[in-house]
Amino acid sequence: MKSTEKKENRRTWSKVSPAFYVIIILSIFLSAFVYNKYVWLLDILSGWLIFDYLALKFHSKALKTNVTGRTRVFINERFDVVITISSESKKALTVEVVPPAVVKKAPVRLVINSNERVSLAFDTFFGTRGTKDLGYYTIKIESFTRLFQIMITEPMPFKVKVFPRLEHAEAEVERILEMLPVVKSKHKLVEDISYIRNVREYEREPLNRIHWKQSAKMGELMVKEYEYAGTTRNFILLDLNLPAGIYSKAAWEFIHKKYQEEAIKATAGLLKYFSDRHEKTNLLISHAKGTYDLSFADYVLYFDYLAEVEGTLENEQYTSELLEHVIDVVQPTDTVLLIGMFLTKSEVDRLLRLRTRCGRVIVLIMPYGYREATSKKFKSYFDVPIEIRELYQYAKVLREENVIVQVWHENTSFMEGLLKLTDSAQI
């Protein structure tokens, strides 16, 4: 919640009806040539209008405003922008509150009495992610005659950062990842004997590993399984750019935006899932301006970056350069998930090298994004680019080397693609 006032940016101006000017000019002109009771009445009316105008400007200075609202929301999440108006004037003021244009709500007309405080809530939402400037709101103070208005225009004192939606699939993701095998590594990790992770049946282990109390209780020999001293981490590599090795960029121009938004949504869901399980997760994002290497304990902090980041078709980097960021830092117990729009031959060697250094490598390729889980299957009219045929061949080679690859078709939902990962792992 953010609440503030920025009086230095307040603009007060007037909107006057042409009739007001006609009355004043006519009064001055007739007073110069005619002297009778009708001109006197017109002069009195003109004087009263001028006095009312100046008085209204004076009373407008006693009008105080305060704006509150949320500065962090998700796509399509409704929230309120609250404009609070109070008056220190001794006169009741008729005002019309016009919310910012992006709020898309009708103006509200009301009367503010002396020392009264009124709050107006305008609910709204945003359909796209990013930082949104709400623009300006206006308060119109009307005269009794409605021949003029005093307008107070102020910028909204805060911007709203819109986070991407999450692809919710917690229970299914947990079951899928548990079914995927962890590739055996030649590296041996040091066991932490201060923490017993599990107890299982004896299988020719050394006698010092036998848990005698549990063995007596169970009636058979049980051994201790210790936690490893090495810390398991998850690395999510999100490539929002079209790889530099793709030459037919025009064929991907119209589908890149769809891929980008849905890949970000999938990444956000995975980050929340791993965070809920208290698993340490590193997020690397390749985008139009470079690479983010992020590691936070609170997954919400990732969303500040996911809300703003943008990929590009005119990329000079390969996805393999993103893989180089983690090859030398992963451990044998780590899981690496690569999310990309495309896979080229240059990435194959890096993925094979990465597989020898970590426990599990999963590649999620979404050339067309994916279908919303709430929508039904539809007939796709997208032509398959030539590069996709090569992509299937690369995926086959990687699967043979225990690098698990899943390619999404346009008509495949995110969860349907994940479920196919288990089939790939069993091949």
264-295 pLDDT tens trace = 999 998 898 888 878 889 999 999 888 999 99
The Cα–Cα gap between 144 and 137 comes to 23
Q: How confident is residue 369, by pLDDT bands cut at 50, 70 and 90?
A: confident
* E-strand stretches of 159-305: 159-163, 191-201, 222-228, 233-239, 280-287, 290-295
What does the block give as tokens for 395?
């995926």
Q: What is the pLDDT of residues 302-323, one digit of tens each?
A: 999 999 999 988 877 777 788 8
pLDDT at residue 190, as a whole number: 43
The pLDDT value given to residue 100: 93
| Structure-token pair, residue 212 | 């005698």
Q: What pLDDT is stored for residue 1 in this prediction?
A: 37
Instruction: Give the confidence band of 21 by pLDDT, cuts at 50, 70, 90.
Output: confident
Residue 98: predicted pLDDT:
93
Give the CATH fold of the 2-163 domain. Immunoglobulin-like (2.60.40)
Q: Say if residue 129's pLDDT is above 90.
A: yes
pLDDT band with cut points at 50, 70 and 90 for residue 6 = very low
88 or 185, which is more confident: 88
How far apart (Å, rounded) are the C-alpha atoms in residues 76 and 162?
A: 9
Cα(239)–Cα(246) distance, rounded to whole angstroms?
Answer: 14
Q: Residue 99: pLDDT above 90?
A: yes
> What does the domain layout of the chain look like in residue ranges?
2-163, 170-184+231-426, 191-228
Top-tier CATH class for 170-184+231-426: alpha beta
* Confidence at residue 88, expressed as pLDDT on a 0 to 100 scale: 84
Which residue did the predictor score with more confidence, 422 or 89?
Answer: 89
